[in-house]
Chains A and B, each alone.
Chain A
């Protein structure tokens, strides 16, 4: 559990790392982001700012703490690092969902996650899970309620999570439709192995 000063000082750290943390390119309509190492493509909302880090990518309209769409690609081995479990291509969406919830609770230190819904969907044509989570997370010296949608599915090479997170006040409900639209554009593609 973070102490008070750690939370306030985390702001200073956040600011010092700012140039590394913010998306840096404008999304152009009709130009999906293609991740060769992650094996997917997705059209982020037009005029949002997007960026990539390895096989992961993200986009935001107002800032990562306000409205962030993310795509995380995790190799199967140790995909759930905090709970020390791996995923597998034949793992059912329900099993995946349960592991993701457990991972979030452990990795983020959030015992107070409310699971609002957990249902089967499809992602890029593959059987997937869709979680709707609500939690209070420390921000600076206080706490704010966030909501998050996580959609996930496996491929031959790993687990892909497509998510959207924002404060429950205004940002999450307002920009959720943008996320839903992006998810419909998601496609899996052949993964290009990383160069040796």
Chain B
């Protein structure tokens, strides 16, 4: 049977960190206005290496005049990963993330002279179902776009230069009903680790040197041309927490503002993947 061998130096540092972590985090759930969690001292040899963002795609055409846009309801889920790897959807965090994001987007898009925000019209049940289906398609398309261009290797790089992802022309009825040129879709997921989860993550790192992934986030944000369904602008963010720190957290209003502003800022250029990964 293999014996458990532990690097003495690492176990000492880990022990110190564990004591500090134990003091820093009781496993209290965040309040409805979460404050920043204490960030531990630098973890041993596990600081994330920032991956250089890929070169941006060629700029899409700048819109002439104000672009009329529909901001669709935010699609977002917030989870907590507890000690033991139990992951639960957290309703109040989910609502915070959605409302923080919606507030920021309404403000940014409303104040941007390039855009005119248009109200979503009342839709029939059939229209709602069609819209729902296209939003789900957007999630799949944006996932595959990120996978292909960011991780697919050389064979997929042509997609960067010719980003032709589309949802098809099925949303034309929205243009006809609302007068909007495009729909903005913002969606994503984040997992925040509890103090206990970080505690155990540190423990495992200290004992065995193995890093067990904990929290993280994946956000996509795109503009869909309502005439033909082309995704005419797109950005995304993939992030991973390291020992409970460093990831995106839309529960906090200031973090949401920072993240959403950062995602929107390159418009009309689509950098396709501003990325922090371990």
A-to-B contact residues, CB < 8 Å: 4-5, 8-9, 11-12, 14-16, 18-19, 21-26, 47, 49, 62-66, 139-145, 167, 169-171, 174
B136 and A139 within 8 A (CB): yes
Cβ contact within 8 Å between A22 and B156? yes
Secondary structure call for the A interface: mixed
A4-B89 in contact (CB<8A) = yes
**If A14-B147, A63-B144 touch, does A22 touch B152 (CB 8 Å cutoff)?**
yes
What's the least CB distance linking A13 to chain B, in Å?
10
Chain A residues within an 8 Å CB radius of B155: 23-26, 49
Contact of B151 among A19, A66, A144 (CB under 8 A): A19
Please name all residues of chain B whose beta carbon is closer than 8 Å to the beta carbon of A142 when the two chains form the complex.
132, 135-136, 139
- Beyond A15-B151, A140-B143: 9 further Cβ-contacts under 8 Å? A9-B87, A11-B218, A12-B216, A12-B218, A18-B147, A49-B155, A63-B144, A145-B133, A170-B167
Pick from A8, A144, A167: contact of B189, CB under 8 Å: A8
| A65 lies within 8 A of B143 (CB) | yes
8 Å CB contact of A15 from B75, B88, B135, B147: B147
Q: Lowest 7 CB-CB distances: which A-B pairs, in order?
A: A63-B144, A170-B168, A18-B151, A142-B136, A22-B152, A49-B155, A144-B136
Instruction: Flag if A140 contacts B151 (CB, 8 Å).
Output: no
A170 touches B89 (CB 8 A): no
Q: Is B137 an interface residue (CB 8 A)?
A: yes
Near A by CB (< 8 A), chain B positions 130-180 give 132-137, 139-141, 143-148, 150-156, 158-159, 165-170
Shortest B228–chain A CB gap in Å is 10
Interchain CA distance A178-B29 in the complex, whole Å: 53
Across-interface contacts of A23 in B (CB, < 8 A)? 152, 155
**Alpha-carbon separation in the docked complex, A4 to B87 (Å):** 10
**B273 CB, min distance to chain A CBs, angstroms:** 11
> Taking the complex as formed, is B196 at the interface, i.e. its CB lies under 8 A from any CB of chain A?
no
17 contacts between A and B (CB under 8 A): A4-B89, A11-B189, A12-B218, A15-B143, A15-B147, A16-B213, A22-B153, A23-B155, A63-B144, A63-B145, A63-B147, A66-B144, A139-B136, A139-B139, A144-B137, A145-B133, A174-B168
What residues of A have a CB within 8 angstroms of the CB of B147 in the complex?
Answer: 14-15, 18, 21-22, 63
List chain A residues, Cβ under 8 A from B15.
none
Contact status of A169 and B134, CB under 8 A, knowing A8-B79, A24-B155, A140-B139:
yes
Minimum Cβ distance to chain A for residue B190 (Å):
10
Complex Cα gap A64–B148 (Å) = 9
Whole-angstrom distance between the Cβ of B93 and the nearest chain A Cβ: 13
What's the nearest-Cβ distance from chain B to residue A45, in Å? 14
Give the nearest-CB partner of B277 in chain A: A15
Closest residue of A by beta carbon distance from B149:
A63
Q: Which residues of B contact A174 (CB under 8 A)?
A: 168
Decide: B143 and A11 in contact? CB cutoff 8 A. Answer: yes
Instruction: Give A167 to B159 CA distance when docked, in angstroms.
Output: 20
Contact A22 B140 (CB under 8 A): no
Separation of A49 and B156 alpha carbons in the complex (Å): 7
Q: How far is the CA of A171 from the CA of B167 in the complex (A)?
A: 8
Q: Which of B109-135 contact A (CB under 8 A)?
A: 132-135
A25 to B157, CA, bound (A): 11
Q: In the complex the two chains form, is B152's CB within 8 Å of A65's CB?
A: no
B166: chain A residues at CB < 8 Å are 170
Complex: chain B residue closest to A170, CB-CB:
B168
- Is the beta-carbon distance between B89 and A62 smaller than 8 angstroms? no
Interface residue? B229 (CB, 8 A): yes
> Which residues of B are found within 8 Å of A25, using beta-carbon distances?
155
A134 to chain B, nearest CB (A): 13
A64: which B residues are within 8 A, CB to CB?
144
Tell whether B253 is near chain A: CB-to-CB under 8 Å.
no
CA distance in complex: A18, B169 (Å): 29
Does any Cβ of A come within 8 Å of B238's Cβ? Answer: yes
Assuming the A-B contacts A12-B218, A66-B141, are A143 and B153 also in contact, with contact meaning beta carbons closer than 8 angstroms in the complex?
A: no
A14 to chain B, nearest CB (A): 7
